[in-house]
Chains A and B, each alone.
Chain A
Amino acid sequence: MIDSQMKELRTELSETETSRINEELADDKSLKNGGVRKRRGKRALFRRVARRCAQGAAAFFFGVLFFYVCCPYPTDAPRTSNGWLPLSVDGESGRVSLQNPSGEPVLERGATRWLVDASSEPAATLGEFRVVESRSTQEQENASSTGGAETAEVVETTLEPVAPLALEQLDALTLTFGEITVCESDPDAPPSHCARRLTEKTSTFGRASTALACDPLVGAVAASGSRRDWNDRIATVVVAAAILALSTLFARAFCGWICPMGAAVDFVDFLLKPIRVAVHKLLKINNLNQKLKTSRALRSTDFRFFLAAALIGATFAGVAVVGWFAPIPTLTRNADFGFAPFQTAAFRGWGQVPAATWGARISLVVFATFFGLGVFGKRAFCRWICPSGAIFSLFGRLKIFGYSIDSARCVDCRRCAAVCSFDAISPFETETGESGKAGVRVGATCVSCGECAAVCPRNAIVFRSVFKNLAPNATAEEARASSRRSSRRRALGFGIGVGVSTTLGALFGRSTTSAANSDSASSFVRPPGALDERMFLQRCVRCGECFRACPNDALQPIDLDGGLARLWTPRLNANWSGCEPSCNNCGRVCPTGAIRPLEIAEKRRFVVGTAVVDKDACLPFADVEDCRLCFDECERAGYDAIEFVAVGTELDENGRPVEGVGFLAPVVSSERCVGCGLCQARCFAINVRVQDKLTRSAIRVFPRR
């Protein structure tokens, strides 16, 4: 239907005709340099610059969201310093002067710190304080102890409570003479520094998933499903609806002006120009006519519509594979696979970058292929594959503003058709072939880029409301009528194609998910906050945002070993790293609510799996040696889910156990274990990688059922 004009181009322009047009143009006084002019006036130039600026700004914003907002680094934990001495305390207001331990610098005035009475048992938090003054003084040391007068630098810091203290805190502060510990964050709250960084950046730049929300297919996935967790997805749906509305109003403007993938394709197309010219030469696409013919042939496949239909079919049948080809998830996913490792390396060194997975390699190869198509024609991905673009094209038919060609002024030079990256302009000939003069019209694939208007020698192409009729023109009317007749025939084929591909997609979705759901051997641990597996597959668009947001790269893509349904979806690779307790980033960057955003306290209770001790491998269980790596790691993270049990106990002649024989081995408490995988990561890092005592981690996390 979109390409209903294809049949209209029956004749090729002959060499003589081309020269005729050029002669005609040469007569036009408004033309310079014999009519081959690329820019037409300030307005066209302005439009072109504006479009590039818009694309650049959108791409930059996208980059900021992905590489800055979503990036978890640096992940400095809040500092605590011990040994501050309380020199004076005002027992009424809680104002306190502390002497800094040696080496501690002066504090910035106005900074807030938490004070802890380290001398009490257990240590008691005294509350949050603000630095009033912090200064360094030279102090004469006691001459008798050192044998001579020496000066030492002493830093003294005065703080006062941020809010009035509770009586207990005030009393504790008043009569504390022992050491005070100064903390940068509330010592009683679970650490949340990773989460806090994301909150700060989000409040400045917006949600990291905003860019993804622009994609109508991501929006459709977010909008699908129950209303239960609507809050997690509403932002995505609203942005997607807004973009779709905008693109409907201004004929597919998103693709031409905003889409960062489009901008990237444009840029690569620019780089590929010499190759493209060579390829065209090789394929003997030497002139405009052959070019039009070629692209017409490619266009006629309507492949992207069928692809979009299949993907949507599969998504609604249970597996959100739209992200395989939808432009924004494709871009973010490959930005993660291709560029994020360098960013991680810059912050933390190459040692902290996990090895590329096969999933990532496959994705990058496919991604490169999308760009490589540029050797055949400009915007090849957008024209031939992009399923979101197909949606925009469909909605673009309802456009209110767009480009149209004034047939009265058109001289049929077809420069516009040649310059159009999207093959949106189709030359046609009236059926009657009256006066032998052909015409051109703008189709629904137009992205409102305005390149055509810039090259039109006669100002025949203008951006305007569709309601504002051009001067009646018999030729154009006739062409429209003829296109209407032919589009009926084409509509049937198109409809059948869409129907078949939707069905095939749905069948694929149904079969993969039912296989995935019955696949009880699945050993993939999902991120904290992930929906149950069935819902997760339906909601996860494989955008890779959670990989980038994960501070330890604990989340990694599943390869083909999870089946096609799970390709590029996140799993916890606890051999590499465990889930950072101070972080809840993955749920907060997920555009579709496949991973729900959780508060830190909630996340620390969210069970993603259970650690299981492999008694054949575990060093104490296997009677090899003492080892408490997993215990220490679990304790440090504050889960306290690992206990010890004595193994290898020997009895003496009286049947009493002999002190000092056997080992203490780890036991996982299933009530407390959340499956974070820190234990597994530790065991793997030390016992497998560094010390080579084991071939596999002796404690491993499995999804809990």
Chain B
Amino acid sequence: MKKLLLTALIVAFSELTAATPFFGDEIILTTGKKGTGTIVAENASSVSIETSVGGSKVRRVVPKNRIYSIEQGGKVRVLNESEAGKKAAEASAIASIGSSAKEPVVRTPAEVVAIIERAGKTLPDWFESTPLEYPKTLDLSFPKDVDGWDNQRNFGQYVWDVINPNQSRWRGAVKLAAFLREKNKNRPEVVMRIDQTIGEFYFRFFQDYPRAAYYWRLSGLDKNLEAAPWLAPYLGECYWKLGSKKMALELFEKSQNQYPWIKILADMGELEQALELAERLAQTNLADYAFVYAGDACRTAGEYDRAIEYYQKVLDVEPTPQRTAENMERNTKRARANIVGINVFNRLDLTKVPDGVYFGESVGFAGTVRVKVVVAAGKIASVEVVEHQEKQYYSSIADVPRQIVERQSLKDVDAVSSATATSEAIVNATAKALAEGLERGAKGARE
């Protein structure tokens, strides 16, 4: 992991292009285009950069008059001034913050807070160009308690019914929330709830951890978790993703009984704490959730036998009247699919899968998820979700397949926040598809 000194901040270039396993030198062109590799030659007019494409080394010769900056051996040289180049350099610095790195960056709490403050005070580049749209009937005063359900009147209900399901409206949601904040700026209680909401938008829609954390902290959440206890685990996740496990664990100490912590603790490597929490929550009426999350936690940690044990427990949970039958059924299905998934991919040797196109399916949040897997030259060439009923969490539909191809593995795929079920389903379906390929290969070998 290399570090780049940029103004006063130390910013890590973690996984800029995860597709390139080798992190070396970087060239940014005046148009903002970036490329990483090893700089192997340089003369008065051009620079040669080498990297690996499809297993073989390739070299590109770049004329120097088109280069904005070269980063070589940790040192950055700017060759030509360019706005686009400058922007690209900054964007890559910001993008690297909190990206889903396999080995997370470790930062001091002060550094994390600095990142949050810096990013939070800027607006995303799409903010200006996003139009402000809302139904004319919307109650702009954002009252705390509303009667009944009217998604054209009440902001929270509008978000739930209309914004959440439509990715095309997510940016507009941030814009609308900012508009409401301005309208109600003299009412601190409303501003607090709007800041919570904005934080949620950045977290759920864009996985923009610095900005999410910024708005949650602005609402005073870090000091008073009682204001919105359900957000605590997510703020914790932000801290962890930004490099401070310590801050996350401190938050956990203050807000124990939120089951999303199970997953986050497991992601942070605190399996035992996660399982302890799960066991505790299993005593409540959230037993099915607790066990599913515990199973996921074990799976993340690579403890497959224990994972299956927990998933098995989900199947044995007695339905309680408080839980909706639908949720119960969903968790049961998920547990079953995961047991199958683990069984399948544990005995999977990817190198033995013959080239071909395979299909597999599993159960997601809302129904069948079907994937198409292309194996070429002993590698997973592409994974594509061809059929799904998933609702709001489109990001996992694109993100998880990308991760699988990048990692060439089904293990350690980082689930998109709050879309665990969908991510798991894609992994499980891919595993099944590959298992089918393996079987076909074995049959072929026998014949």
Contact B58 A86 (CB under 8 A): yes
Instruction: Point out the residue from A103, A172, A643, A658 that lies within 8 Å of B166, measured CB to CB.
Output: A643
Which residues of B from 158 to 200 have beta carbons under 8 Å from A?
160-162, 164-166, 168-169
Chain B residues, Cβ within 8 Å of A660: 324, 326-327, 330, 365
CB within 8 Å of B: which A634-656 residues: 640, 643-647, 649-651, 655
The residue that A645 contacts in the complex, of B55, B58, B165, with Cβ under 8 A, is B165
**Whole-angstrom distance from the CB of A151 to the nearest CB of chain B?**
13
Q: Which residues of B have CB within 8 Å of A92?
A: 63
Instruction: Determine the chain A residues whose CB is within 8 A of the CB of B168 once the complex forms.
Output: 640, 643
- Neighbouring A residues of B157 by C-beta, 8 Å: 649, 657
Residues on A with beta carbons closer than 8 Å to the beta carbon of B376 = 83, 101-103
Contact: B324 with A650, CB < 8 Å?
yes
CB pair A175–B161 under 8 Å, yes or no, is: no
From B31-39, B123-131, B269-277, B295-303, the one touching the partner chain is B31-39
> Quick check: is B355 within 8 A (CB to CB) of the other chain?
yes
Q: Are B60 and A174 in contact (CB under 8 A)?
A: yes
A175–B165 CB distance below 8 A: no
Q: How far is the CA of A503 from the CA of B27 in the complex (A)?
A: 83
Q: Is B367 an interface position by the 8 A CB rule?
A: yes
* Contact status A167-B37, CB under 8 Å: no
- Segment at the interface with A among B105-113, B114-122, B250-258, B377-385: B377-385
Chain B nearest Cβ from A518, distance in angstroms? 34
Say if the beta carbon of B280 comes within 8 Å of chain A: no
- Hey, which chain A residues are within 8 Å of B58, CB to CB? 86-88, 177
Q: How far is the CA of A405 from the CA of B51 in the complex (A)?
A: 93
Question: Closest CB of chain B to A55's CB: distance in Å?
Answer: 55
10 tightest A-B contacts by CB?
A175-B35, A644-B165, A646-B161, A171-B33, A85-B54, A171-B29, A171-B31, A643-B166, A168-B31, A102-B376
The verdict on A495 contacting chain B, using a C-beta distance below 8 Å, is no
In the complex formed, the residue of A with least CB distance to B160 is A657
Q: Which A residue's beta carbon lies closest to that of B381?
A: A83
A99 contacts the other chain (Cβ, under 8 Å)? yes
In-complex Cβ contact of A174 among B17, B62, B169, B365 (8 A): B62
The answer to whether B324 and A91 touch across the interface, beta carbons within 8 angstroms, is no
Q: Which residue of the partner chain, among A83, A90, A628, A646, contacts B389 with CB atoms under 8 Å?
A: A628
How many residues from B make CB contacts under 8 Å with A? 55
**A11 close to B (CB within 8 Å):** no
A540 within 8 A of B: no
Question: Taking the complex as formed, is B445 at the interface, i.e. its CB lies under 8 A from any CB of chain A?
Answer: no
B63 contact from A91, A145, A643, A658, Cβ within 8 A: A91
Q: Does A200 contact B (CB under 8 A)?
A: no
Confirm or deny: A178 has a beta carbon within 8 angstroms of a beta carbon on chain B: yes
- 19 contacts across the A-B interface (CB closer than 8 A): A91-B46, A91-B61, A103-B376, A145-B351, A168-B31, A171-B30, A171-B31, A172-B31, A174-B29, A177-B19, A177-B53, A178-B19, A643-B168, A644-B166, A644-B391, A645-B161, A649-B149, A660-B324, A660-B365
| Interface status of A82 (Cβ within 8 A of chain B) | yes
Q: Is the C-beta of B151 less than 8 angstroms from some C-beta in chain A?
A: yes
Tell whether A194 is near chain B: CB-to-CB under 8 Å: no
Nearest CB on B from A654, distance (A):
10
Q: Closest CB of chain B to A401's CB: distance in Å? A: 69
Query: Per-position contact with B for A69-100: 1 when CB-CB < 8 Å, else 0?
Result: 00000000000001101111111100000010
Once bound together, how far apart are the Cα atoms of A152 and B145, in whole Å? Answer: 68
Closest beta carbon of chain B to A123's beta carbon, Å: 12
Which single member of B59, B145, B391 contacts A664 (CB below 8 Å)? B391
Query: Are B29 and A87 interface neighbours, CB within 8 A?
Result: no
Residues 15-49 of B, flagged 1 when their CB comes within 8 A of A and 0 if not, give: 00101100000010111011101000000001001
B140-160 with Cβ < 8 A to chain A: 145, 149, 151, 157, 160
Shortest Cβ gap from A667 to chain B (Å): 8
Residues on A with C-beta less than 8 A from B62 are 91, 174-175
Q: Are A87 and B330 in contact, with the CB atoms below 8 A?
A: no
- B391 CB to nearest chain A CB (Å): 5
Q: Say yes or no: is A136 at the interface (Cβ < 8 Å to chain B).
A: no
- Across the interface, name the chain A residue whose C-beta is closest to B165: A644
C-alpha spacing A655/B19, complex, angstroms: 45
Residues of A within 8 A of B60 (CB): 88-89, 91, 174-175
A102 close to B377 (CB less than 8 A): yes
Interchain nearest-CB distance for B205 vs A (Å):
15
Q: In the complex the two chains form, what is the Cα distance from A643 to B160 in whole Å?
A: 13
In the complex, which residues 645-687 of chain A have their Cβ closer than 8 Å to any Cβ of chain B? Answer: 645-647, 649-651, 655, 657-661, 664
A23 at the interface (CB under 8 A from B): no
Please tell me if B56 contacts chain A, counting CB pairs below 8 Å.
yes
Number of interface residues of A (CB under 8 A): 45
Report if A626 contacts B (CB, 8 A): yes
A119 at the binding interface (Cβ < 8 Å): yes
**Least Cβ–Cβ distance between A109 and chain B, in angstroms:** 23
- The verdict on B10 contacting chain A, using a C-beta distance below 8 Å, is no
A351 → chain B, closest Cβ, in Å? 22
Residues of A104-118 contacting chain B, CB below 8 A: none
Chain B contacts of A99 at CB under 8 A? 54
Per the bound structure, the CA–CA distance linking A628 and B166 in Å amounts to: 12
Q: CB-CB < 8 A to B29: which residues of A? A: 171, 174-175
Beta-carbon nearest neighbor of A643 in chain B: B166
Residues in A neighbouring B63, C-beta threshold 8 A: 91-92
CA distance A92 to B45 in the complex (A): 12
A645 and B27 within 8 A (CB): no
Q: Does B66 contact A (CB under 8 A)?
A: yes
Q: Besides A91-B62, A171-B29, 7 other CB < 8 A contacts?
A: A145-B351, A177-B53, A628-B389, A643-B165, A643-B169, A646-B162, A650-B324
B residues 346-360 near A (Cβ < 8 Å) are 351, 355
From A119, A174, A649, A655, B161 is in contact (CB under 8 Å) with A649
Tell whether B78 is near chain A: CB-to-CB under 8 Å.
no
**Contact between chains at B161 and A177 (CB < 8 Å):** no
Interface-central residue, A88, A152, A174, A657, by most chain B CB under 10 Å: A174
Q: Is B366 an interface residue, CB under 8 A from the partner?
A: yes
Q: Is the CB of A174 within 8 A of B33?
A: yes
A524 to B64, CA, bound (A): 63
**Chain B residues whose C-beta falls within 8 Å of the C-beta of A167 in the assembled complex:** 30-31, 66
A649 to B29, CA, bound (A): 50
Min CB distance A38 to B, Å, is 70
- Chain A residue at smallest Cβ distance from B391: A664
B424 to chain A, nearest CB (A): 15
Complex CA gap A44/B49 in Å reads 84
Task: Name the residue on B nearest A627 (C-beta).
Answer: B389
Residues of chain B within 8 A of A659, CB atoms compared:
327
Q: Report the separation of the CA atoms of residues A643 and B163 in the bound assembly, to the nearest whole angstrom.
A: 10
- Assuming the A-B contacts A167-B66, A628-B389, are A658 and B33 also in contact, with contact meaning beta carbons closer than 8 angstroms in the complex? no
Q: Please indicate the chain B residues that have their CB under 8 angstroms from the CB of A650 in the complex.
A: 324
A626/B389 in contact, CB under 8 A? yes
A172 touches B33 (CB 8 A): yes
Report yes or no: A175 in contact with B27, Cβ–Cβ below 8 A.
yes
- Whether A645 pairs with B151 at a CB distance below 8 angstroms is yes
Nearest A residue to B161 by beta-carbon distance?
Answer: A646
Chain B stretch 54-109: residues in CB contact (< 8 A) with chain A = 54-56, 58-63, 66
Q: Is the CB of B53 within 8 A of A658?
A: no
| A661 proximity list for chain B (CB < 8 A) | 324, 326-327
Contacts of A658 in B (CB 8 A): 324, 327
Residues of chain A lying within 8 A (CB to CB) of residue B37 = 177
With both beta carbons as reference points, the residue of chain A lying nearest to B55 in the complex is identified as: A142
Distance between Cα atoms of A407 and B46 in the complex (Å): 99
Residues A177 and B56 in contact, CB atoms below 8 Å apart: no
Shortest A308–chain B CB gap in Å is: 57
Q: Is A177 touching B31 in the complex (CB atoms < 8 A)?
A: no
Bound-complex Cα distance A650 to B323 (A) = 12
0 or 1 for each of A605-621: is its CB under 8 Å from B? (1 = yes)? 00000000000000000
* Contact pattern, B 240-258, Cβ under 8 Å of A = 1, otherwise 0: 0000000000000000000
Expressed in whole angstroms, the Cα–Cα distance for A167 and B63 within the complex equals 12
A78 to chain B, nearest CB (A): 19
How far is A699 from B66 in the complex, measured between Cα atoms in Å? 53
**Across-interface contacts of A88 in B (CB, < 8 A):** 58-60
